Amino acid sequence: MDQSSFASKFISRIQRIDTPRIESFLTQLVKEKDFLRIVIDSLQEGIFVLDDAHRVVFANETIKSLLGLHARKVLGEPVARLLRAKALLGLYEEFRDHHASIEQREIRVRTPQPRIYAVSAMPIEDHSGEMTHSVWIVIDQTETHRRAAERHQAESVRSLATLVAGIAHEIKNPLNSLNIHAQLISSAARDFSRQSGGSDPSLERLETSTRVLLDEIQRLARIVDQFIKAARPTRVDLRPSQVNEVLEAVADLLRPECIERRIDLVLDLDPELPRARTDPEQLQQAVLNIAKNALEAIDKPEGRIIFRSALKSDHLLVEIEDNGCGIAEDDSLRIFEPYHTTKFNGTGLGLMVVFRIVKAHGGEIGLDSQVGEGTTFKIALPLDERPIRLIEMGAVPGDLEPSEIIEWGGPEAPEPLE
């Protein structure tokens, strides 16, 4: 037997029922009502029930907090007096005039806070078709909208990356052919110059111009390569490996330039360094990118770059120190952002790729820098699979989310140094 038929039978026989049974039935009813009240108050949906004169006969806690009504008397009030947001009042007036259901209509309100609501209103009619009550349901959609907007933004960033990579690839072919032809012109000019005894000024101009052309083609090719690498997803293949070997390999790549520019390249590596789960190729790219910046930052005659490795309590520490121009504090927060560069020829992609690679290793990156004194980049790598929790460092990049790091590209092979 259902509750309502039980209740009507109970009421029809109430004269014959003894007082203790009536008491127990009423207690039961009150308990059930309280229980229902708790359930309704804990719903995410705000609920109003209005009578035929649009006065509030029921309001759950959610609607009170959505509409900022906690400090006000709500029951018995005409609803129009409680609605402060214009868009909500507009919906109310529409419903009052037509009594037609409103289904999940989205509105933006500015009071009590800027939010997006989906509002529904349904008339409840008696058997003669007269509206006796109406039920209003208000759902806060602000978070759902924010998440959808974020997803949309991530999507467009991804498709932009694909587009950039595609264009970069297309540029490479004509660039190669430009390179070959510029070299042909250059060698033809040399031949002519030799034949004419090397005294023709217009041939000299031609040689100078082709050299400029070749340099600029090289520069464009480098930029295009960086874009292609940056747009590629980073996938690390972590395996037990020796980080010192990575540092030595990068040092080998840098040595010719260091010798030429009389820059001291110092390796201060812990010989006892245990193996760590890393992707040596990716790590090499990260260290190379940092070290190339160090080379570019050194503007004094006694340049010095130091690679350090050390074992800490729960991580390996790799440091790349230079005595270059240093990084201003404002800039140090932005250097890991894509396209942030202070260089005329820079792309601002190098450190973004570094950041992504370190994060894909479960590591942390930070830096200490003094303008005019130099910069030390510090990379902490976990010893096992656990990500590092704490690391004592200066500035750490806070703007990038881990998701951006895993999804977004990194290079496959180290960029050759010319």
Which residue intervals of 196-336 are DSSP H helices? 201-231, 243-260, 280-297, 329-332
Q: In what order do the strands lie in the sheet with 56-59?
A: 56-59, 46-51, 131-140, 115-125, 102-109
| Interaction partner, residue 340 (Mg ion, ligand ADP, none; CB < 5-8 Å by kind) | ligand ADP
Using rule CB under 6 A, residue 232 touches ligand ADP: no
Question: Cβ(237)–Cβ(412) under 8 Å?
Answer: no
- Residue 327's binding partner among ligand ADP, Mg ion, none (Cβ under 5 to 8 angstroms by kind) is ligand ADP
Residue 176 Cβ vs ligand ADP, minimum distance, rounded to whole Å: 23
**Where in 362-381 is the site for ligand ADP (CB under 6 A)?**
375
Which lies closer to ligand ADP via its Cβ, residue 223 or residue 383? 223
Separation CA 216–CA 206 (nearest Å)? 15
Q: Does 303 bind ligand ADP (CB under 6 A)?
A: no
Does the footprint of ligand ADP cover residue 141 (CB under 6 A)? Answer: no
Alpha carbons 66 and 44: distance in angstroms, whole number: 10
Nearer Cβ to ligand ADP, position 222 or 277?
222
CB-based burial of residue 146 (10 Å sphere; 0-12 exposed, 13-18 middle, 19+ buried)?
Answer: exposed
Does 265 contact ligand ADP by CB under 6 A? no
Work out whether 347 is an interface residue with ligand ADP (CB under 6 A). Answer: yes
Q: Segment 98-127, which members bind ligand ADP (CB under 6 A)?
A: none
Strand partners, 316: 311, 381
Cβ–Cβ under 8 Å, residues 133 and 57:
yes
Please, what is the Cα angle at 126 between 123 and 132, to 5 degrees?
50
For Mg ion, the binding residues (CB under 5 A) are: 293, 350
* Residue 165 lies near ligand ADP (rule: CB under 6 A): no
Does residue 158 interact with ligand ADP by CB under 6 A? no
Candidate segments 51-59, 112-120, 302-310, 335-343, binder of ligand ADP by CB under 6 A: 335-343
* Binding range to ligand ADP, per CB under 6 A, among 34-42, 278-286, 348-356, 403-411: 348-356
Closest to 135 measured CA to CA, from 41, 48, 61: 48
Q: How far apart are the first and last CA of the chain?
A: 89
Instruction: Report the nearest approach of ligand ADP to the CB of residue 175 (Å).
Output: 19
Q: Judged by CB, which is closer to ligand ADP: 374, or 382?
A: 374
Asked if 248 and 267 count as a contact pair (C-beta separation under 8 A), the reply is: yes
182 φ, ψ (degrees, to nearest 5): -65, -40
Structural tokens at position 2: 């259902």
Q: Which is nearer to Mg ion, 189 or 327 (CB)?
A: 327
**Residues of span 282-301 touching ligand ADP by CB under 6 A:** 289, 293-294, 297
Between residues 62 and 285, which has the closer beta carbon with respect to ligand ADP? 285
Q: Using CB distances below 5 to 8 A depending on partner kind, what does residue 348 bind out of ligand ADP, Mg ion, none?
A: ligand ADP
Residue 326 Cβ, how far from ligand ADP at the closest point, in Å?
6
Minimal distance, residue 385 CB to Mg ion, in Å? 30
Residues 6+ apart with CB under 8 A from 71: none
Name the minimum Å distance from CB 350 to Mg ion. Answer: 3
CB of 187 to ligand ADP, least distance (A): 32
The verdict on 348 binding ligand ADP (CB under 6 A) reads yes
What is the smallest separation between the CB atom of 280 and ligand ADP, expressed in angstroms? Answer: 21
E-strand stretches of 343-404 = 364-370, 374-382
When binding is defined by CB under 6 A, the residue of 279, 281, 322, 368 that contacts ligand ADP is: 322
| Cβ-count burial 190-211 (b if 16+ within 10 Å, e if not) | eeebeeeeeeeeebeebbeebe
Q: Work out what residue 294 binds among ligand ADP, Mg ion, none; the CB cut-off runs from 5 to 8 Å by kind.
A: ligand ADP
Amino acid at 401: E
